[in-house]
Amino acid sequence: MVANSGNDPVYDIEGGLCRGPDKPGGEHPALPRHARLPINRCNLPPAILGGLTFQVHPAALELDGLGNLHKPLFALLDDTDDATLRAAHFGRYMEHHFHLSTPEDAGFDGGQKKSRLRASYLRVVRGWAFDAESREAAVLKGWVESRFGLSPRYHGEPLREPGSAAWQRYVAMRAAGLYATNGLEEQLDLLYAYCQYELARQFPQRSHLRLYRGVNRLVEHETLSDNGQGERIVLLNNVNSFSRSRERAGEFGDDVLAVDVPLAKLAFFHSLLPGMLRAEDEYVVIGGLYRVRLVREV
C-alpha cells in the first residue's frame, strides 16, 4: 500500500490480490479475442484496457473527440469548487445541449413517439439499476461495446457467439432502446467523462477503489484461472454493478467477490448526481479481466 500525505491510500490493493503480468496462458491469460472487438473509440485498444495489466497499472481512458467538443462545460467545472454545484452545472448542460425537455428543437416533427425522444442518459441509468437485463441495460452494454470494444458476455442469457439467437435478441433490444432517441450514446459519453472528471477531483491521489460484488452460481462465471485459495481471474460482463460496502454486496448473492477496480473503469456511481441511482453505494464498472478474491462463500 502506498499512502499520500493524508493517509488515504493511492492503491487499496492487498498484496497478492492483483499481481503478475498480463501474458497469454498459464496464470496470466490475455483477454480472449471473443470478448473484444478489433477497434473501439477511445485512446487504448480493447486488448489493453480489458486486460489484467490495466487492472494493476491503469491509465486514463479518453473517448475520441469528447474533450474538444465540450470544452465550455469542463472550463465551467474547473471554476466551480463545490461538487453539488458542479453536478447542477452538468445537469443543466445536458438539458440544453441535448434539448432533453424541448425535443422539437432537436428535430421532433410530431411523427415520432415523444416518449422515445425524451429517453435520456438518466432513463438508461435508472433502467439499468431496476433491471440489468432490460432494454436500457442493453443500450448501456452496447455503449460499452462501441466505445471501449468490450463485448457483452450476458444479457438475460449467456452471449457466447455473435449471430446466435441470444445475440440477436440482445442486438434487437439495444436497437429498440436507441430508436428515435436524441444522441443517447453521446449522452452516455459525456456522463462517463463527467464521472472521470469528478473522480479525479474527489480522489486526486487514488488510482483504485476496493469494491464488492455479490454473485450467485459462481461456477457459471467465466473463470480463466483459480488458485484454489479464493483468488481467481475472471472475465466479467462488459458492465457490472458493484458496491463499496461488503455487507451490502452480500445482500445480492451467495458469494462475495472483492475487486480492486481502476477509477478509469467506473462508468458512474450512486452519488455522482443527486437521485441518479436509488441503490446506496452502487458503482457501475466497465468489465474485462479482473483478479478477484472470494471474501464470502456459502
Torsion sign (Cα): 154, 210, 242, 89: negative
Residue position matching grid coordinates 441495460: 137
Which stretches of the chain score pLDDT less than 50?
A: 1-26
Whole-number Å distance between alpha carbons of 158 and 167? 9
Amino acid at 226: D
∠ CA 165-170-171, nearest 5°, is: 95
Whole-number Å distance between alpha carbons of 68 and 89? 18
pLDDT value at residue 82 = 96
pLDDT value at residue 114 = 56
Length of the chain: 298
pTM of the model: 0.88
Q: Smallest Cα–Cα separation from 166: which of 147, 153, 175, 149?
A: 153
pLDDT value at residue 77 = 97
DSSP codes, 21-89: ---SSTTSPPPPGGGB-S--SBSS-HHHHTSHHHHHS-----BTTHHHHTHHHHHHHHT---HHHHHHH
Q: Identify whether the C-beta of residue 87 lies closer than 8 Å to the C-beta of residue 194.
A: no
Whole-number Å distance between alpha carbons of 151 and 142? 8
For residue range 21-78, list pLDDT tens digits in order: 444 444 567 899 999 999 999 999 999 999 999 999 999 999 998 988 899 999 999 9
CA dihedral 45, 48, 50, 53 (to 10 degrees): -170
Tell the burial category of 197 from Cβ atoms under 10 Å away from its Cβ (0-12, 13-18, 19+): middle
